Structure 1
Amino acid sequence: MNGGLMPKLGMKLSFVIVFLCLLFSLGASHGFKLDIKETKLENGLIILTLEDHSAPVVSYQVWFRVGSRNERPGITGISHLFEHMMFKGSKNIGPEEHAKLVQANGGTLNAWTSNDNTTYFENLPADKLELAIRLEAEREGNLNITPENLASEREVVKEERRLRTDNSPEGALNEQLYATAFEAHPYHWPVVGWMSDLDAITLEDCQSYFKTHYAPNNATVVIVGDFKTDEAVNLVKKYYGGMPAQPPGPPVKTVEPEQLGERIVYVHKIAQVPSFFVGYHTPDINHPDIVPLKVLSQILFSGQSSRMFRKLIYDKQMALSISGGVDEQIDPGLFYIEASVKPGFTVEQVEKEIYDELEKIQTEPVSDQELQKAKNKLEANFYYGLQSVSSKASRIGYSQTIAGDYHKFFNQGEKIQAVSKEDLMRVAKQYLGDRNRTVAILVPEKAESNP
């Protein structure tokens, strides 16, 4: 008797029941809303709160509308540098003490930087909310921007660049894809920055950048969890209300020109097998074509039953891996594909199979079953991302900061389910042509043997 069959079936049944309960509790795709309250302080700070009393926990997040797109040549990487500098202490909090205080009170914390935003968060027991507010306000208002802190964190970031980009075939390939696809727009340079710029950033650069971009009028505070809104807002006012607003930073005016032909870049690195990244220019997060492109990405790349996985991994066994997706950013990004080539085959052979499939989907409609499966999975992933207070806060903060309005994610389910076969054919034809394509190809090199 197979003792593993019934447990697996039970797990699947439990998974389905949990998902159905979640959909009904959230309203699924029919009129889904969250009771988010918005408050704006006199200094421009936006506070978004969502009470969730299902567990005695709270997520406190601060979203700054600044990322690598707000930099310029000479200071690339400065946004990510500040992600590190923010943990080096302030007027009333010692170096690394912020993290120690959160962890000592049963919490977790982290931060990340992207092209478009820099975000800091704490997840804590509900009765420790004031601690998170006080700590975040302290470092936003009184950060120690000193020569010593700049020198130490500069070296940390440089080492991070060496590890994740310079000494990583995948990192180097991704960097070259975007550097080649974007000739004019700031998405051209990496979030971690160019090495020469990291060396060149001055203390004055840091002071000026921080004053402008870490101002309250460039930030959104998101609080989700077990608290009372009036009390939480009053605490934010207490700690942030005295911070002055600052003149906004210069807007990003550069628009990437239309690409007029395929671009190919070769990256020579020590590696075991060849691989390549492909990118097609696509619209910004608020463009209506982003949702059909996401559904298309699901059909092509999501899971072992996806078209590309079945074709290249199972059937023809030409690739070791295949994946893809679409950027959702403030400015137009890329529909991207990543593939590694199985020994015995060439990059060109795998490329041809991918491009043939993309051409096919431009002229032949997908099946009803394939389309509905992709839409259901994409919608399910959206609702799965709303289960914890932390993930809810992240979704709210992302929508407010990147899309410009937290309301915009309320109707994601409806938008997904409205996508038609004709929409998929149209966006595939409009965006996934060879003239709009950039390819970064990894050419493996062998390590030199020591004598």
Structure 2
Amino acid sequence: MKKKLIGVASLLLGLTTSIYAQKVDFTEYNLDNGLHVILHKANAAPVVTVSVMYHVGSKNEVLGRTGFAHFFEHLLFEGSDNLKRGEFMKVVSQAGGQNNANTTQDRTYYYEVLPSNELKTGLWLESERMLHPVINEIGVKTQNEVVKEEKRQRIDNQPYGRFAEEVFKRLFTKHPYTWQTIGSMADLDAAKLDEFKAFFKKYYAPNNACLVVTGDFDIEKTKNLISAYFSAVPKGEEIVQPNITETPITTAIIDSVYDANIQLPAVITSYRVPGMKSRDAYVLNMISTILSNGGSSRLYKKMVDDKKNALQVGAFNYSLEDYGAYITYALPNGNASLSDLVKDIDEEVAKMQTELISEHDFQKLQNIMENNFVNANTGVEGIANNLADAYTFQKNTNLINTEIEIYRTLTREEMREVAKKYLGANQRVLLYYLPKSNQ
């Protein structure tokens, strides 16, 4: 009787999340200069988000000049022809808003969240950033120091801060994913001002960007404002994104690295998998969910609760545009050996490759995906980011409404086959991440 009640509860949860998955209505169009515009009106609160996503990340850099995309995340706050140096954030703050930016291997994203009566301010700021930012020696030198300090705090002096760098430089040998978004400080030091200007001119053009406005605004008035602020921005050259194929890994790459910032070792496995546009990427998301999502997940229950040989254990699919990295990790509890942790993780992966998960577990997975889908679209800033992502990477903005349908069509058999296809022990990087004193 108890199992039946649990099953009914799971089904009800699935129905509930479906009921509250509100459709995101939007309008989209292009300006003559190629800028793609997406508008989503939501009057629940007197707030607007203005965001711009540029289809440029660290993968658009070249060896010897890495770190440019992340550097521009900072540099384009320096000011413009009509905005004094250091005034960008001050204008946003005085308008009662907040702003930020972030960079990945594939794109750079800027946004402002403002009171709805300050929509014009947000559009003006982003047009200034795109049309005529000030790129000079003072700004480059200033932001160079900012980036160096960020690297010290987030990577060099952070426990396990280099794990992504160490994984990706082994997992990728041809593709620019081999270096991290923050890049090389030596490369930034060596770069000339003209190189920064050329990078901006090439990649920060309207035809390589997506402008999204979400929140409380009038659509027709906003269209007029967008035309007034952005139509004068000249169209740039057509961008051809990298198309680089990696040679398959057929023999495990096993290595050790040492970190002076840690006391506990870790073990990491990583597999090169398809990028975010692949159906298999969605399957891998479901596999990682059943392996390590929460206290009832297979890895946590086995290694943290039952065997107590791990303090932490997890699996996740790091999905990028061209490829992904499927990563598992574990930190030992007490004197547990790293080899035993790998063995335990491998056993659970092997079950995914040889056995179908139960109908009950599959229904639970579907419910979790439904819930994640709903939660991803609960605020105007999150919706703005998701709309920009859907257009930039998929050229299908309506994916914000239909992506859940992909998860609904996945099968238990696909989970088994995808695990078998990509998660073989001979297809991975096995990395022992050790305290430096052990060297």
Question: Same fold, TM exceeding 0.5?
Answer: yes
3-state SS, counterpart of residue 26 of structure 1: coil
Q: CA deviation at 1:167?
A: 2.5
Q: CA deviation at 1:207?
A: 0.2
Indicate conservation of the 8 Å contact 2:212/2:387, yes or no.
yes
Partners of 1:317 and 1:228 in 2: CA distance: 57
Partners of 1:150 and 1:175 in 2: CA distance: 25
Partners of 1:235 and 1:304 in 2: CA distance: 49
Q: CA deviation at 1:19?
A: 9.5
Q: Which of 280, 284, 288 does residue 293 from structure 1 map onto?
A: 284
Partners of 1:169 and 1:261 in 2: CA distance: 29
Match of 1:197?
187
3-state SS, counterpart of residue 296 of structure 2: coil
Deviation readout 1:93-115 (Å, 9 max, x if unpaired): 12221111111111111100000
Alignment partner of 1:425 is 2:416: yes
3-state SS, counterpart of residue 294 of structure 2: coil
Match of 1:369?
360
Describe how 1:203-282 pairs up with structure 2 within 5 A: 203-270=193-260, 271-282=262-273
Describe how 1:123-142 pairs up with structure 2 within 5 A: 123-142=113-132
Percent of matched pairs sharing the same residue: 33
Describe how 1:36-185 pairs up with structure 2 within 5 A: 36-185=26-175
Which runs of structure 1 show a deviation greater than 3 angstroms over 4 or more consecutive aligned residues?
A: 16-23
Deviation readout 1:104-133 (Å, 9 max, x if unpaired): 111111100000000000111111111000
Indicate conservation of the 8 Å contact 1:58/1:225, yes or no.
yes
What amino acid sits opposite 1:26 in the alignment? Answer: A
Match of 1:386?
377
For structure 1, the 5+ residue unaligned runs are 1-12, 28-32
What amino acid sits opposite 1:332 in the alignment? Answer: Y
Deviation readout 1:168-222 (Å, 9 max, x if unpaired): 3422122110110001001000000023212222211100000111011110001
Would the alpha carbon gap of residues 89 and 17 (structure 1) be closer, same or farther in structure 2, given more than 3 Å must change?
Answer: farther
Would the alpha carbon gap of residues 131 and 114 (structure 1) be closer, same or farther in structure 2, given more than 3 Å must change?
Answer: same
Q: Which of 391, 399, 402 does residue 408 from structure 1 map onto?
A: 399
Q: CA deviation at 1:407?
A: 2.1
Deviation readout 1:291-325 (Å, 9 max, x if unpaired): 11111111001001100111111111111111221
3-state SS, counterpart of residue 274 of structure 2: coil
Partners of 1:239 and 1:334 in 2: CA distance: 40
Partners of 1:166 and 1:136 in 2: CA distance: 32
For structure 2, the 5+ residue unaligned runs are 1-8
Partners of 2:165 and 2:431 in 1: CA distance: 9
3-state SS, counterpart of residue 291 of structure 1: helix
Would the alpha carbon gap of residues 25 and 373 (structure 1) be closer, same or farther in structure 2, given more than 3 Å must change?
Answer: closer
3-state SS, counterpart of residue 171 of structure 1: coil
Deviation readout 1:274-302 (Å, 9 max, x if unpaired): 01222111111111111111111110010
What amino acid sits opposite 2:300 in the alignment? Answer: F
Q: Which of 21, 27, 36 does residue 26 from structure 1 map onto?
A: 21
Indicate conservation of the 8 Å contact 2:57/2:103, yes or no.
yes
More displaced 10-residue stretch of structure 1: 73-82 or 198-207: 198-207
3-state SS, counterpart of residue 139 of structure 2: helix
TM norm structure 2: 0.94
Partners of 2:220 and 2:300 in 1: CA distance: 51
Partners of 2:98 and 2:203 in 1: CA distance: 25
Would the alpha carbon gap of residues 253 and 291 (structure 1) be closer, same or farther in structure 2, given more than 3 Å must change?
Answer: closer
Indicate conservation of the 8 Å contact 1:176/1:265, yes or no.
no
Partners of 2:192 and 2:383 in 1: CA distance: 37
Partners of 1:75 and 1:67 in 2: CA distance: 13
Match of 2:318?
327
Partners of 1:22 and 1:392 in 2: CA distance: 17
Partners of 1:438 and 1:196 in 2: CA distance: 27
Partners of 1:284 and 1:17 in 2: CA distance: 33
Q: CA deviation at 1:165?
A: 1.9
TM norm structure 1: 0.91
What amino acid sits opposite 1:149 in the alignment? Answer: G
Alignment partner of 1:439 is 2:430: yes
Indicate conservation of the 8 Å contact 2:14/2:366, yes or no.
no
Indicate conservation of the 8 Å contact 2:101/2:108, yes or no.
yes
What amino acid sits opposite 2:19 in the alignment? Answer: F
Deviation readout 1:331-358 (Å, 9 max, x if unpaired): 0111111221222012111011101110
3-state SS, counterpart of residue 161 of structure 2: helix
